Amino acid sequence: MIVLLAVMALVLLWALVSDRLTRWRITAPIAFVVAGAALAGGADPVLTLDFDTHIFQRGVELVLAIMLFVDATEAKTYERLEKPTVEYRLLGLALPASVGLATVFGAALFPGTNWWLLAVAALVVMPMDLAPVLNLLKDERLPWRVRAALNIEGGFNDGLISPLFVFCVANVVGHGGDSFGDLVVNALQGVALAALVGTVLGLGVSWLVRRSHEADWSNPHVLRLVALALPFLAYSGAVLIEGNGFVAAFVTGMCYARTAQGLGRDHLDLVHDASHLMAIAAWFAFGKLVADEFSHGVELAVVLYGILALTVARYLPVVLSLAGTDFTWTERNVMGWLGPRGVTSIVFAVLAYVELGEQDASLVLKLTGSTVLLSVVLHGVTVEPIARRLARRAVITDRRTAGGD
């Protein structure tokens, strides 16, 4: 209860001074990571967080479930783009290649490490998340298609990663002595059951909401509670029948997206706010984990892994996957660089911490900590210069076009 009181008090304080701190480049992720490290980290912390409890594990899983739901519902926002955003290339080509490269880099930097564990680490650190640079989505100096492609990628990559993450973790810990074939069957069965739950729940609730709205049985303001309840229902329903709760929440969001958009822009505000609040709590917990893991120093290999994950493993697959598209070379470079890591990686890392043995969990947490902290700094510092450069190029292009006319 004391931890909850402290975190909510910090949220209150942040809400009061957020704009002022943001002007000093102190974002919510930075503020709450520092707060978590200062208050809950170290050998004699002010606040005690117990990550080994069943309640904590379920809480973290629900954070990811609600994030997946929110991300899935946002896809419909970009349906009316005049040109494709090539999200299929980013998700179908670049993402698998990035995970593969990160796994190979892990094997080179940490020889002798279990390949399944290296895959878990890669799946944790490679999904991009715009949380550390949310202002990017509103910055009109960046081309609309670039922002749309990055937002769709950030929304869908964690949904694609989650079943693979669960499968690789199961191979590391060897659940019940099951064979590889048994784990594959269990994973596929979990995804199938989750897809069924998500589809039935998403489409069924969509129909009920539309009928209720049309019959004036309820109003859009109250119906926002539906969007808040859905990810929890999807996750819980799938888990009860031994399905993948993350996939269920994601599929539910996809099926509910059209109805959500039809009820107005503010229909999803409540679930968005809840997702943001839970993300802040995840940053706080991450600060405690990072402080504990890095209390005795940081290995050079861990830092190198973070740098490679943010640069080579992200940049090359993205740029190569966009070959042959009508994105300019500058836009491809921007999309290759702008792959920030945030809450998605943190939640996956905390889940890995709960599931894996102490030594394996420590490695994943160190690699995640290095990658996310470097991302917060590097991407936070470079977004503004990139936006200014693109704005200048746009002005030059417009002048040339006007001169040609």
pLDDT along the chain (405 residues), means of 10: 82 85 75 86 76 71 84 63 65 92 96 93 89 65 79 78 87 69 75 90 90 86 88 91 85 84 77 85 84 85 95 94 87 87 84 85 91 84 76 60 54
Q: What architecture is the 55-400 domain classified under in CATH?
A: Up-down Bundle (1.20)
Does residue 255 contact residue 90 with C-beta atoms inside 8 Å? Answer: no
The pLDDT, as a whole number, for residue 350 is 83
Which has the closest alpha carbon to 64: 288, 232, 259, 233? Answer: 232
Please, are residues 359 and 109 in contact by the beta-carbon 8 Å criterion?
no
pLDDT at site 230:
92
- Within 8 A by CB and 6+ apart from 226, the residues are 205, 209
Q: What is the pLDDT of residue 304?
A: 96
For residue 200, the model assigns a pLDDT of 93
Q: Rounded to an integer, what is the distance from CA 223 to the centroid of its chain?
A: 26
pTM over 0.85: no
The separation between CA 327 and the C-alpha centre of its own chain, rounded to angstroms, equals 25
Size of the chain in residues: 405
Q: Return phi, psi of residue 309, to 5°.
A: -65, -35
pLDDT tens digits along 226-237: 889 999 999 999
State whether the Cα torsion 7-8-9-13 is positive or negative: positive
| pLDDT at residue 68 in the model | 82
- Can you tell me the distance from the alpha carbon of 239 to that of 248, in angstroms, rounded to the nearest whole number? 9
The dihedral of CA 133, 134, 137, 141: what is its sign? negative
Note the pLDDT of residue 335.
87
